[in-house]
Structure 1
Amino acid sequence: MEFQIIKADMKQDEDKKYLGHVTFTLTGHSSKYEITLFSKRGKEWDYSLNFAAESGNEDELLKVDEQLEEDDDLFEALVDAARESMEQ
């Protein structure tokens, strides 16, 4: 599935925990999405998926969530985009 990253950021707090956000679009979807990423050590990630701006098609959001669970390459690309923002 093709995607485009619009914006990405990540910070590490004083306890060395990571919190990041990536706003992105997917080909064929009408909405922009935002994934919030959290990790205690930067290896295993928890996430929350939401619409980035206004609410959209719930079925599409559920399909994106399912895709994130199944497609490691997509998920890792979003994590990498957020991590790269820390280096800039």
Structure 2
Amino acid sequence: MNVHIESADMKKNEDGHFIGHTLFSIEGYKDSYELTFFSKRGKEWDYSINFAKESGKEEDLLTIDKLIEEDDDLFDQLLDAALDSMEPTASE
């Protein structure tokens, strides 16, 4: 499965929680998607998935969500793209 990451970002908010996004597309699917990540400490991650641009087929969105949920390597690839975009802080 070929994944193309279009952009990614991650930051800590004023409470020290991690909030990030990865925009990506997967070969064989017409639309681009955006994952939004959230973690209080950077260890356990919650995410939500949306269409990155205009709405597409809901069936495809649900299929991609299931892929991400079941494929740890895919999830890690998308999360790592966001984490890699973070600039180190003075305390790190």
> Into which bin does the TM-score normalised by the smaller protein fall?
over 0.9
Superposition TM-score, scaled by structure 1 size: 0.96
Q: Per-residue deviation at 1:14?
A: 2.5
Deviations 1:34-57 (A, max 9, x none): 000000010110000000000001
Name structure 2 gaps, 5 residues minimum: none
Q: Which residue of 2 aligns with 1:7?
A: 7
CA distance in 2, matches of 1:56, 1:14: 34
Q: Which has the higher helix share?
A: 1
Q: Where do residues 39-58 of structure 1 align in structure 2 (5 Å cutoff)?
A: 39-58=39-58
Q: Percent identity?
A: 57
Aligned-CA RMSD value: 1.1
The answer to which of 31-40 and 12-21 deviates more is 12-21
* Aligned residue number for residue 73 of structure 2: 73
Structure 1 consecutive aligned stretches of length 4 or more whose deviation exceeds 3 Å: none
SS of match in other structure, 1:66: helix
Shift of 1:2: 1.6
From the CA coordinates, give the structure whose radius of gyration is larger: 2
What's 1:38 paired with? 38
Aligned length in residues: 88
